[in-house]
Amino acid sequence: MQLAFKNYILEDSTYKGGGKKIVMPDGITVHKLSSNENPLGYSPKVKEALSKTLDDLSYYPDNTDSRLRDALVKDFDGVLTADNFITANSGSEIIDMISKAFLSENDEVIVSQPCFLPYTAFTRWMGAKAINVPMTDNYDYNLEGISKAITDRTKLVFLASPNNPSGNYIPMADLRNFIDKLPKHVILVLDEVYRHFAEAEDYTSGVPFVVEGKNVIAINSFSKTYGLAGLRVGYCYAPVEISNYMRKICKPFLLSSLALEGAIAALEDVDFVNKTVALLKEERKFVLNGLDALQIKYWPSQGNFVLIDPPINDMEFTAFLEQRGIMVRPVGVFGAPGKVRISFGLREANKALLAALEVLMKTKTTTA
Protein backbone atom coordinates (compact mmCIF):
# COMPACT_ATOMS: atom_id res chain seq x y z
CA MET A 1 0.00 0.00 0.00
CA GLN A 2 1.42 3.38 -1.00
CA LEU A 3 2.09 5.92 1.73
CA ALA A 4 -0.38 8.78 1.77
CA PHE A 5 2.05 11.67 1.38
CA LYS A 6 0.30 15.01 0.91
CA ASN A 7 1.33 16.72 -2.32
CA TYR A 8 1.30 20.19 -0.81
CA ILE A 9 3.75 19.07 1.87
CA LEU A 10 6.03 17.42 -0.69
CA GLU A 11 6.60 20.79 -2.36
CA ASP A 12 9.94 22.37 -1.47
CA SER A 13 9.07 25.12 0.98
CA THR A 14 11.66 24.68 3.69
CA TYR A 15 12.76 27.94 5.28
CA LYS A 16 16.50 28.49 5.12
CA GLY A 17 18.01 30.86 7.66
CA GLY A 18 20.91 33.25 7.28
CA GLY A 19 23.46 30.55 8.06
CA LYS A 20 26.18 30.09 10.65
CA LYS A 21 29.33 32.19 10.72
CA ILE A 22 31.73 31.57 7.87
CA VAL A 23 35.28 30.45 8.62
CA MET A 24 37.99 32.88 7.51
CA PRO A 25 41.80 32.77 7.54
CA ASP A 26 43.52 34.06 10.65
CA GLY A 27 43.55 37.82 10.87
CA ILE A 28 40.19 38.36 9.15
CA THR A 29 37.31 39.17 11.49
CA VAL A 30 33.92 37.75 10.57
CA HIS A 31 30.96 40.13 10.83
CA LYS A 32 27.62 38.32 10.66
CA LEU A 33 25.16 40.85 9.24
CA SER A 34 22.82 38.31 7.67
CA SER A 35 20.28 37.32 10.34
CA ASN A 36 19.11 40.51 12.11
CA GLU A 37 20.55 39.32 15.42
CA ASN A 38 21.34 41.50 18.44
CA PRO A 39 24.98 42.66 18.13
CA LEU A 40 25.15 43.21 21.90
CA GLY A 41 24.29 39.58 22.63
CA TYR A 42 21.84 39.23 25.51
CA SER A 43 21.25 40.61 28.99
CA PRO A 44 23.57 39.64 31.87
CA LYS A 45 20.39 38.96 33.85
CA VAL A 46 19.51 36.26 31.34
CA LYS A 47 22.91 34.63 31.77
CA GLU A 48 22.45 34.62 35.53
CA ALA A 49 18.97 33.12 35.23
CA LEU A 50 20.13 30.41 32.84
CA SER A 51 23.04 29.53 35.12
CA LYS A 52 20.67 28.98 38.04
CA THR A 53 18.41 26.82 35.87
CA LEU A 54 21.14 24.39 34.79
CA ASP A 55 20.98 22.42 38.04
CA ASP A 56 17.29 21.64 37.47
CA LEU A 57 17.36 20.36 33.89
CA SER A 58 16.49 16.85 35.04
CA TYR A 59 13.06 18.15 36.07
CA TYR A 60 10.19 19.05 33.78
CA PRO A 61 9.65 22.77 33.21
CA ASP A 62 6.45 24.56 34.21
CA ASN A 63 3.41 22.82 32.75
CA THR A 64 2.10 26.18 31.50
CA ASP A 65 3.55 29.52 30.44
CA SER A 66 1.61 31.46 33.09
CA ARG A 67 4.69 33.06 34.70
CA LEU A 68 5.95 34.31 31.35
CA ARG A 69 2.53 35.64 30.42
CA ASP A 70 2.38 37.50 33.73
CA ALA A 71 5.78 39.02 32.94
CA LEU A 72 4.46 40.09 29.53
CA VAL A 73 1.49 41.81 31.16
CA LYS A 74 3.93 43.87 33.19
CA ASP A 75 6.05 44.61 30.12
CA PHE A 76 2.95 45.93 28.33
CA ASP A 77 2.14 48.15 31.33
CA GLY A 78 -0.98 46.20 32.22
CA VAL A 79 -2.82 47.26 29.06
CA LEU A 80 -3.33 43.59 28.16
CA THR A 81 -4.19 40.66 30.40
CA ALA A 82 -2.42 37.33 30.75
CA ASP A 83 -5.27 35.72 28.81
CA ASN A 84 -4.40 37.85 25.76
CA PHE A 85 -0.96 36.22 25.44
CA ILE A 86 0.21 32.92 24.01
CA THR A 87 3.87 31.90 24.04
CA ALA A 88 5.74 29.34 21.94
CA ASN A 89 9.14 28.26 20.69
CA SER A 90 9.78 31.27 18.44
CA GLY A 91 7.67 33.65 16.41
CA SER A 92 7.77 31.09 13.61
CA GLU A 93 6.02 28.53 15.78
CA ILE A 94 3.37 31.12 16.58
CA ILE A 95 2.76 31.41 12.81
CA ASP A 96 2.57 27.61 12.64
CA MET A 97 0.03 27.55 15.49
CA ILE A 98 -2.10 30.20 13.81
CA SER A 99 -2.05 28.21 10.57
CA LYS A 100 -3.09 25.01 12.35
CA ALA A 101 -5.82 26.77 14.32
CA PHE A 102 -7.48 28.61 11.43
CA LEU A 103 -6.57 27.00 8.09
CA SER A 104 -7.94 23.97 6.31
CA GLU A 105 -7.50 22.66 2.78
CA ASN A 106 -8.59 25.11 0.07
CA ASP A 107 -8.68 28.07 2.45
CA GLU A 108 -6.87 31.22 1.38
CA VAL A 109 -4.52 33.64 3.07
CA ILE A 110 -3.20 36.89 1.66
CA VAL A 111 0.47 37.84 1.76
CA SER A 112 2.41 40.69 0.20
CA GLN A 113 5.84 39.87 -1.12
CA PRO A 114 8.59 40.44 -0.30
CA CYS A 115 7.75 38.85 3.03
CA PHE A 116 8.90 36.31 5.63
CA LEU A 117 8.86 32.89 3.95
CA PRO A 118 6.96 30.97 6.72
CA TYR A 119 3.79 32.92 5.88
CA THR A 120 3.54 31.05 2.60
CA ALA A 121 5.30 27.82 3.61
CA PHE A 122 3.12 27.12 6.66
CA THR A 123 0.02 28.00 4.66
CA ARG A 124 0.98 25.37 2.08
CA TRP A 125 1.55 22.76 4.78
CA MET A 126 -2.13 23.10 5.72
CA GLY A 127 -3.27 22.62 2.14
CA ALA A 128 -4.35 26.26 1.93
CA LYS A 129 -3.39 28.76 -0.75
CA ALA A 130 -1.37 31.94 -0.34
CA ILE A 131 -2.59 34.80 -2.55
CA ASN A 132 0.17 37.32 -3.21
CA VAL A 133 -0.76 40.99 -3.49
CA PRO A 134 2.71 42.39 -4.21
CA MET A 135 4.07 45.49 -2.53
CA THR A 136 4.63 48.58 -4.62
CA ASP A 137 8.02 49.39 -6.14
CA ASN A 138 8.68 51.50 -3.03
CA TYR A 139 7.81 48.50 -0.83
CA ASP A 140 4.61 49.93 0.54
CA TYR A 141 1.61 47.69 1.15
CA ASN A 142 -1.17 47.87 -1.43
CA LEU A 143 -3.84 47.80 1.27
CA GLU A 144 -6.64 48.61 -1.17
CA GLY A 145 -5.51 45.74 -3.38
CA ILE A 146 -5.43 43.40 -0.38
CA SER A 147 -8.98 44.38 0.58
CA LYS A 148 -10.17 43.67 -2.97
CA ALA A 149 -8.42 40.25 -2.94
CA ILE A 150 -10.37 39.04 0.11
CA THR A 151 -12.95 36.37 -0.66
CA ASP A 152 -15.24 34.07 1.32
CA ARG A 153 -12.31 31.62 1.45
CA THR A 154 -9.88 34.13 2.97
CA LYS A 155 -9.12 33.29 6.59
CA LEU A 156 -5.91 35.23 7.30
CA VAL A 157 -4.11 38.33 6.06
CA PHE A 158 -0.41 38.60 6.91
CA LEU A 159 1.07 42.07 7.34
CA ALA A 160 4.38 42.96 8.96
CA SER A 161 5.30 46.33 10.42
CA PRO A 162 8.24 46.82 10.17
CA ASN A 163 8.41 44.29 7.36
CA ASN A 164 11.20 41.78 6.82
CA PRO A 165 13.11 42.15 4.49
CA SER A 166 12.03 45.58 3.22
CA GLY A 167 12.01 47.52 6.51
CA ASN A 168 8.84 49.45 5.68
CA TYR A 169 6.06 50.08 8.19
CA ILE A 170 2.31 50.73 8.03
CA PRO A 171 1.22 54.19 9.29
CA MET A 172 -1.41 54.16 12.04
CA ALA A 173 -4.13 55.82 9.96
CA ASP A 174 -3.66 53.38 7.07
CA LEU A 175 -3.70 50.35 9.36
CA ARG A 176 -6.77 51.65 11.19
CA ASN A 177 -8.65 52.18 7.93
CA PHE A 178 -7.71 48.69 6.72
CA ILE A 179 -8.73 46.92 9.93
CA ASP A 180 -12.04 48.78 10.16
CA LYS A 181 -12.98 47.45 6.71
CA LEU A 182 -11.84 43.87 7.38
CA PRO A 183 -14.70 41.31 7.05
CA LYS A 184 -15.63 39.58 10.29
CA HIS A 185 -14.50 36.16 9.03
CA VAL A 186 -10.90 37.35 8.42
CA ILE A 187 -8.09 37.67 10.96
CA LEU A 188 -5.21 40.09 10.48
CA VAL A 189 -1.90 38.54 11.54
CA LEU A 190 0.36 41.49 12.32
CA ASP A 191 4.01 40.54 12.53
CA GLU A 192 5.69 43.14 14.75
CA VAL A 193 8.87 41.38 15.83
CA TYR A 194 10.90 44.49 14.92
CA ARG A 195 8.57 46.97 16.65
CA HIS A 196 11.16 48.15 19.19
CA PHE A 197 13.29 49.65 16.42
CA ALA A 198 10.50 51.67 14.79
CA GLU A 199 10.72 55.42 15.47
CA ALA A 200 8.24 56.87 12.97
CA GLU A 201 5.76 59.12 14.77
CA ASP A 202 2.77 57.38 13.19
CA TYR A 203 3.99 53.84 13.86
CA THR A 204 1.70 51.61 15.90
CA SER A 205 1.79 48.11 17.30
CA GLY A 206 -1.30 45.92 17.39
CA VAL A 207 -2.14 46.81 21.00
CA PRO A 208 -4.88 49.40 20.40
CA PHE A 209 -6.69 47.09 17.99
CA VAL A 210 -6.53 44.08 20.31
CA VAL A 211 -7.80 46.21 23.20
CA GLU A 212 -10.76 47.15 20.99
CA GLY A 213 -11.44 43.47 20.28
CA LYS A 214 -10.57 43.59 16.59
CA ASN A 215 -9.66 40.35 14.79
CA VAL A 216 -5.93 40.94 15.14
CA ILE A 217 -3.15 38.60 16.26
CA ALA A 218 0.17 40.39 16.85
CA ILE A 219 3.33 38.26 16.64
CA ASN A 220 6.48 39.03 18.64
CA SER A 221 9.83 37.36 19.26
CA PHE A 222 12.65 37.33 21.78
CA SER A 223 15.21 36.77 19.01
CA LYS A 224 15.83 40.38 17.98
CA THR A 225 15.69 43.03 20.71
CA TYR A 226 16.35 40.58 23.52
CA GLY A 227 19.12 38.65 21.76
CA LEU A 228 17.69 35.20 22.51
CA ALA A 229 17.60 33.76 18.98
CA GLY A 230 19.24 30.57 20.22
CA LEU A 231 16.58 29.97 22.89
CA ARG A 232 13.70 30.14 20.36
CA VAL A 233 11.03 32.02 22.29
CA GLY A 234 8.16 33.94 20.75
CA TYR A 235 4.66 35.08 21.65
CA CYS A 236 1.54 36.67 20.31
CA TYR A 237 -1.34 38.61 21.77
CA ALA A 238 -4.92 38.71 20.56
CA PRO A 239 -8.46 39.31 21.83
CA VAL A 240 -9.31 36.76 24.50
CA GLU A 241 -11.84 34.98 22.29
CA ILE A 242 -9.08 34.24 19.79
CA SER A 243 -6.28 33.53 22.26
CA ASN A 244 -8.40 31.15 24.34
CA TYR A 245 -9.28 29.23 21.18
CA MET A 246 -5.64 29.01 20.12
CA ARG A 247 -4.61 27.89 23.61
CA LYS A 248 -6.56 24.66 23.04
CA ILE A 249 -3.75 23.45 20.74
CA CYS A 250 -0.90 24.51 23.05
CA LYS A 251 1.18 21.55 24.14
CA PRO A 252 2.00 20.91 27.82
CA PHE A 253 5.58 21.67 28.84
CA LEU A 254 5.88 23.60 25.57
CA LEU A 255 8.69 25.92 26.68
CA SER A 256 11.92 24.49 28.04
CA SER A 257 13.14 25.59 31.46
CA LEU A 258 15.93 27.60 29.83
CA ALA A 259 13.58 29.34 27.42
CA LEU A 260 11.09 30.15 30.15
CA GLU A 261 13.58 31.54 32.65
CA GLY A 262 15.61 33.31 29.98
CA ALA A 263 12.59 35.11 28.54
CA ILE A 264 11.33 36.22 31.95
CA ALA A 265 14.78 37.57 32.86
CA ALA A 266 15.04 39.35 29.48
CA LEU A 267 11.79 41.21 30.11
CA GLU A 268 13.07 42.38 33.49
CA ASP A 269 16.18 44.05 32.06
CA VAL A 270 14.66 47.22 30.64
CA ASP A 271 18.07 48.92 30.62
CA PHE A 272 19.45 46.30 28.22
CA VAL A 273 16.47 46.74 25.91
CA ASN A 274 16.89 50.51 25.90
CA LYS A 275 20.62 50.16 25.23
CA THR A 276 19.96 47.81 22.33
CA VAL A 277 17.34 50.05 20.76
CA ALA A 278 19.49 53.19 21.13
CA LEU A 279 22.52 51.44 19.61
CA LEU A 280 20.61 50.06 16.62
CA LYS A 281 18.99 53.40 15.85
CA GLU A 282 22.38 55.10 15.97
CA GLU A 283 24.01 52.45 13.78
CA ARG A 284 21.10 52.51 11.37
CA LYS A 285 21.68 56.22 10.82
CA PHE A 286 25.44 55.64 10.43
CA VAL A 287 25.05 52.91 7.80
CA LEU A 288 22.33 54.72 5.83
CA ASN A 289 24.45 57.87 5.72
CA GLY A 290 27.31 55.74 4.43
CA LEU A 291 25.12 54.20 1.73
CA ASP A 292 24.03 57.69 0.69
CA ALA A 293 27.65 58.78 0.36
CA LEU A 294 28.43 55.74 -1.80
CA GLN A 295 25.27 56.28 -3.86
CA ILE A 296 24.04 52.76 -3.21
CA LYS A 297 20.27 52.50 -3.47
CA TYR A 298 18.37 51.37 -0.39
CA TRP A 299 14.86 51.57 1.00
CA PRO A 300 14.03 53.46 4.22
CA SER A 301 13.95 51.08 7.16
CA GLN A 302 12.31 51.03 10.56
CA GLY A 303 14.01 47.72 11.42
CA ASN A 304 17.49 46.68 12.54
CA PHE A 305 18.42 46.01 8.90
CA VAL A 306 18.26 47.64 5.49
CA LEU A 307 17.29 46.37 2.06
CA ILE A 308 19.62 47.47 -0.73
CA ASP A 309 19.82 47.23 -4.49
CA PRO A 310 23.45 46.06 -4.86
CA PRO A 311 25.58 47.61 -7.60
CA ILE A 312 26.36 44.12 -8.98
CA ASN A 313 24.53 40.78 -9.13
CA ASP A 314 23.20 39.86 -5.67
CA MET A 315 25.08 36.56 -5.44
CA GLU A 316 28.32 38.12 -6.69
CA PHE A 317 27.80 40.93 -4.20
CA THR A 318 27.30 38.45 -1.35
CA ALA A 319 30.41 36.50 -2.37
CA PHE A 320 32.46 39.71 -2.62
CA LEU A 321 31.60 40.63 0.97
CA GLU A 322 32.08 37.09 2.27
CA GLN A 323 35.63 37.14 0.96
CA ARG A 324 36.15 40.08 3.32
CA GLY A 325 34.47 38.36 6.26
CA ILE A 326 31.13 40.13 5.98
CA MET A 327 27.95 38.04 5.83
CA VAL A 328 24.79 39.51 4.28
CA ARG A 329 21.53 37.98 3.02
CA PRO A 330 20.24 37.80 -0.58
CA VAL A 331 16.44 37.88 -0.35
CA GLY A 332 15.18 36.57 -3.66
CA VAL A 333 13.46 33.76 -1.75
CA PHE A 334 11.49 36.41 0.17
CA GLY A 335 10.15 37.78 -3.11
CA ALA A 336 12.73 40.52 -3.71
CA PRO A 337 14.91 39.13 -6.51
CA GLY A 338 18.29 40.77 -6.89
CA LYS A 339 18.07 42.58 -3.56
CA VAL A 340 20.18 42.06 -0.42
CA ARG A 341 19.32 42.58 3.25
CA ILE A 342 22.03 43.84 5.59
CA SER A 343 21.70 43.81 9.38
CA PHE A 344 23.14 46.63 11.45
CA GLY A 345 25.96 45.54 13.75
CA LEU A 346 28.38 47.21 16.10
CA ARG A 347 30.31 50.20 14.77
CA GLU A 348 33.36 48.03 13.93
CA ALA A 349 31.23 45.76 11.74
CA ASN A 350 29.43 48.65 10.08
CA LYS A 351 32.70 50.42 9.31
CA ALA A 352 34.07 47.21 7.78
CA LEU A 353 30.91 46.92 5.67
CA LEU A 354 31.12 50.47 4.34
CA ALA A 355 34.86 50.14 3.69
CA ALA A 356 34.25 47.00 1.63
CA LEU A 357 31.45 48.72 -0.26
CA GLU A 358 33.73 51.65 -1.01
CA VAL A 359 36.29 49.27 -2.52
CA LEU A 360 33.53 47.66 -4.59
CA MET A 361 32.24 50.98 -5.90
CA LYS A 362 35.76 52.12 -6.86
CA THR A 363 36.42 48.82 -8.60
CA LYS A 364 33.12 49.09 -10.43
CA THR A 365 33.92 52.65 -11.54
CA THR A 366 37.40 51.63 -12.74
CA THR A 367 36.12 48.70 -14.81
CA ALA A 368 33.10 50.53 -16.20
Domain boundary among 209, 243, 268: 268
User: What single-letter amino acid sits at 333?
Assistant: V
SS3 of residue 91 by DSSP? helix
Q: Is residue 10 part of a domain?
A: no
pTM over 0.85: yes
Same domain for 286 and 177, yes or no, is no
User: What single-letter amino acid sits at 155?
Assistant: K
Query: Which pLDDT belongs to residue 252?
Result: 82
DSSP designation for 73: H
Query: Which pLDDT belongs to residue 25?
Result: 66
Please tell me the distance from the alpha carbon of residue 68 to that of residue 111, in angstroms, as a whole number.
Answer: 30
Same domain for 35 and 129, yes or no, is no
Does the pLDDT at position 17 exceed 90?
Answer: no
pLDDT bin (cut points 50, 70, 90) of residue 307 is: very high
Q: Is residue 97 part of a domain?
A: yes
Cβ neighbors of 59 (< 8 A, separation 6 or more) are 257
Please tell me the distance from the alpha carbon of residue 355 to that of residue 360, in angstroms, as a whole number.
Answer: 9
pLDDT bin (cut points 50, 70, 90) of residue 20 is: low
User: Number of structural domains, the chain?
Assistant: 2
With contact defined as beta carbons under 8 Å apart, do 185 and 173 qualify? no
Domain boundary among 248, 268, 288: 268
Domain boundary among 268, 297, 325: 268
Does the pLDDT at position 149 exceed 70?
Answer: yes
| CATH classification at residue 275 | 3.90.1150.10
User: What single-letter amino acid sits at 229?
Assistant: A
246-291 residue pLDDT tens: 999 988 888 999 999 999 999 999 999 999 999 999 999 999 999 9
Please tell me the distance from the alpha carbon of residue 233 to that of residue 257, in angstroms, as a whole number.
Answer: 11
Query: Which pLDDT belongs to residue 13?
Result: 55
Q: Is residue 2 part of a domain?
A: no
Query: Which pLDDT belongs to residue 28?
Result: 77
pLDDT bin (cut points 50, 70, 90) of residue 86 is: very high
With contact defined as beta carbons under 8 Å apart, do 304 and 364 qualify? no
Same domain for 179 and 136, yes or no, is yes
Domain that holds residue 211: 44-268
CA 310 and chain centroid, separation? 22
Does the pLDDT at position 312 exceed 80?
Answer: yes
Neighbours of 7 (CB within 10 A): 8
22-61 residue pLDDT tens: 666 666 789 999 999 999 999 999 999 999 999 999 999 9
| CATH classification at residue 119 | 3.40.640.10
Please tell me the distance from the alpha carbon of residue 51 to that of residue 47, in angstroms, as a whole number.
Answer: 6
Strand partners, 255: none
Please tell me the distance from the alpha carbon of residue 308 to that of residue 108, in angstroms, as a whole number.
Answer: 31
Please tell me the distance from the alpha carbon of residue 350 to that of residue 228, in angstroms, as a whole number.
Answer: 22
With contact defined as beta carbons under 8 Å apart, do 343 and 276 qualify? no
Same domain for 209 and 325, yes or no, is no
Same domain for 234 and 207, yes or no, is yes
Q: What is the mean pLDDT of residues 204-227?
A: 98
Q: Could you list the beta-strand ranges (E) of 231-314.
A: 234-237, 297-299, 305-309
| Beta strand 340-343 pairing with 329-330 | antiparallel
pLDDT bin (cut points 50, 70, 90) of residue 239 is: very high
With contact defined as beta carbons under 8 Å apart, do 213 and 188 qualify? no
Does the pLDDT at position 68 exceed 60?
Answer: yes
Q: Is residue 1 part of a domain?
A: no
Query: Which pLDDT belongs to residue 154?
Result: 98
Same domain for 281 and 308, yes or no, is yes
- When the pLDDT of each residue in the chain is averaged and rounded to a whole number, the result is 93
Q: Is residue 8 part of a domain?
A: no
Same domain for 122 and 211, yes or no, is yes
Same domain for 263 and 275, yes or no, is no
With contact defined as beta carbons under 8 Å apart, do 305 and 344 qualify? yes
Query: Which pLDDT belongs to residue 251?
Result: 83
pLDDT bin (cut points 50, 70, 90) of residue 71 is: very high
